[in-house]
Amino acid sequence: MKIEQIYTGCLAQGAYYIESNGEVAIIDPLRETQQYVDKATNESAKIKYIFETHFHADFVSGHVDLAKKTGATIIFGPGAETNYSAHIAKDNEIFKLGNISIKVLHTPGHTLESSTFLLIDEQGNDYAIFSGDTLFLGDVGRPDLAIKSDLTKEDLAAMLYDSLRNKIIPLEDNVIVYPAHGAGSACGKNLSKETVGLLGEQKQTNYALRADMTKEEFVKEVLEGIPPPPQYFAKNAMMNKSGYETFDNVLKKGNIGLSAEEFENIANEQHALVLDVRPQSEYTKAHIPNSIFIGLEGGFAPWVGALITDLKQPILLVAPENKEKETVTRLSRVGYDNTLGYLKGGIATWKDAGKDIETLESIPAEEFAEKAKEHDLNILDVRKNGEYQSMHLEVNGVKNFPLDFINENMNQIDKNKTYHIHCAGGYRSVIAASILKARGFNNIINIEGGFDRLKMTNLPISNFVCPSTLK
């Protein structure tokens, strides 16, 4: 028996490759599936099953493509309805894989069809659970993401309580827990950085598994502090339920080098969004007018999903050399399948063609601190509301303007004013500045290094929530 976790950091997501006696199961595969086919081929094995723990909301799974490539059977838990061929398992149904078995434990709560897959080893012992978003290390899945359900999040939270206590907690302490996500995922609140653990440890440390917890207490605690889900979550879940364009076609269409003229023509004719994914320091020095920055080096896919509201939006890329294919791939993982090409040769090609270039004014935190002592400035802190509440600048003109809600809050600021903008370290502030500039806010100054550097100046810092917080 072989179990391999294939972890993708930018999504904080774990897919799983399980092999026994020449037969393979893949659990919650990524959109790009050739890696699983190649791995099975190298092991002289055949992919037999594709298990999906639920209809994922935070990424587009590769189950449909992988089934087409391999003939493997897609398996969902009870109650799932799909627009493609899939086996909808019964609770406690068992699937043989070589010398081992995989048992379906229906664990509704995160979503109605959510299931945990129990691996039973060659000796017939319960060995591991692949818990999807039912159980994380340190947390459980949020119960507010069910597709078109008449049930409330309180109803689903109550279901999750029962699922954990009836299906998970009775298992032995030495059962290994392989969750779908780790720290950084928006599918839970306080996920551990660890991505593999023991069930016994979770029984001792995970608040949601406390032995003395009532259902009412569980519902209250699991729902407390959950932010609204990103707008792309429901759309990704529907793609996973309904099917999607093959990844090979998406890559073929998007991984095309374009001259400056071709790039500009497509941008104008198809109203394509120009997405610049280079490091932020390169973007601030030179970028195409009206382009949006979301750098590959940060939380790329989640921020794309949060800020670009139309999954079908035509996209053109300005990417670091040899990162073009990776960018198309990472966009497709969250359902953005309409990339139309990239600027071949990058920003140098644009400059050589005599096209207009813009810059984003950026100043060091120390320089900003001197200005703030002498003048009243308009300051936008684009960190999350919780970050702002815990600590922020205590000077006149500061507003919390979370990047998450920039599209909703655009009417709260004035195009005729100059704004100094910062986040924690400098990544999100450049994203926000690029969006504001594209919307006609031309007087934006980025503070390099963000709040991490501002704390090192002698500007006053407060943990009091001032009334100018927008959202």
Cα distance from N-terminal residue to C-terminal residue, the chain: 51
**All domains in the chain, ordered by first residue:** 2-235 (3.60.15.10), 245-352 (3.40.250.10), 362-462 (3.40.250.10)
Quick one: how far is CA 305 from the chain centroid? 7
Tokens, residue 249: 């076609």
Pairwise CA distance, residues 84 & 224, whole Å = 36
Beta-bridged to residue 379, according to DSSP, are 398, 420
**Distances, alpha carbon 322 to alpha carbons 185, 217, 304, 328, 384, in Å:** 27, 51, 20, 12, 33
Pairwise CA distance, residues 356 & 464, whole Å = 44
Tokens, residue 189: 């609140």
Q: What's the alpha-carbon Rg for the chain, to the nearest Å?
A: 24
Tokens, residue 408: 């909703």
Q: Identify which of 6, 231, 227 has the alpha carbon closest to the alpha carbon of residue 130.
A: 6
- In a structure prediction context, what are the per-residue pLDDT tens digits for the chain, which is 471 residues long? 999 999 998 899 999 999 999 999 999 999 999 999 999 999 999 999 999 999 999 999 999 999 999 999 999 999 999 999 999 999 999 999 999 999 999 999 999 999 999 999 999 999 999 999 999 999 999 999 877 678 899 999 999 999 999 999 999 999 999 999 999 888 888 899 999 999 999 999 999 999 999 999 999 999 998 888 889 999 999 999 999 999 999 999 999 999 999 999 999 999 999 999 999 999 999 999 999 999 999 889 999 999 999 999 999 999 999 999 999 999 999 999 999 999 999 999 999 999 999 999 999 999 999 999 888 999 999 999 889 999 999 999 999 999 999 999 999 999 999 999 999 999 999 999 999 999 999 999 999 999 999 999 999 998 654 444 454
Residue 158 is predicted with a pLDDT of: 97
Q: Which residue has the tokens 């294919």?
A: 325
Which strands form 13-20's sheet, in the order they lie side by side?
Answer: 2-8, 13-20, 23-27, 46-51, 73-76, 87-88
Tokens, residue 22: 């020449």
| Cβ atoms of residues 191 and 138 within 8 Å | yes
Quick one: how far is CA 197 from the chain centroid? 22
Q: 121: exposed, middle or buried (C-beta count within 10 Å: 0-12, 13-18, 19+)?
A: middle
Pairwise CA distance, residues 52 & 64, whole Å = 11
- Say how many C-beta atoms besides its own lie within 10 A of residue 325's C-beta: 14
Alpha helix ranges (H) inside 270-360: 280-285, 300-307, 324-333, 346-352
Cβ contacts of residue 348 below 8 Å, gap of 6+? none
For residue 224, the surrounding DSSP H or E stretch is none
Residue 464 is predicted with a pLDDT of: 53
Pairwise CA distance, residues 319 & 333, whole Å = 17
Alpha helix ranges (H) inside 270-345: 280-285, 300-307, 324-333
Pairwise CA distance, residues 292 & 153, whole Å = 35
DSSP per-residue letters across 9-39: GGGTEEEEEEEETTEEEEES--S--HHHHHH
Phi first, then psi: give them for residue 270, nearest 5 degrees: -110, 10
Question: How, if at all, do strands 444-448 and 100-106 pair?
Answer: unpaired
Residues counted in the chain: 471
Residue 146 is predicted with a pLDDT of: 79
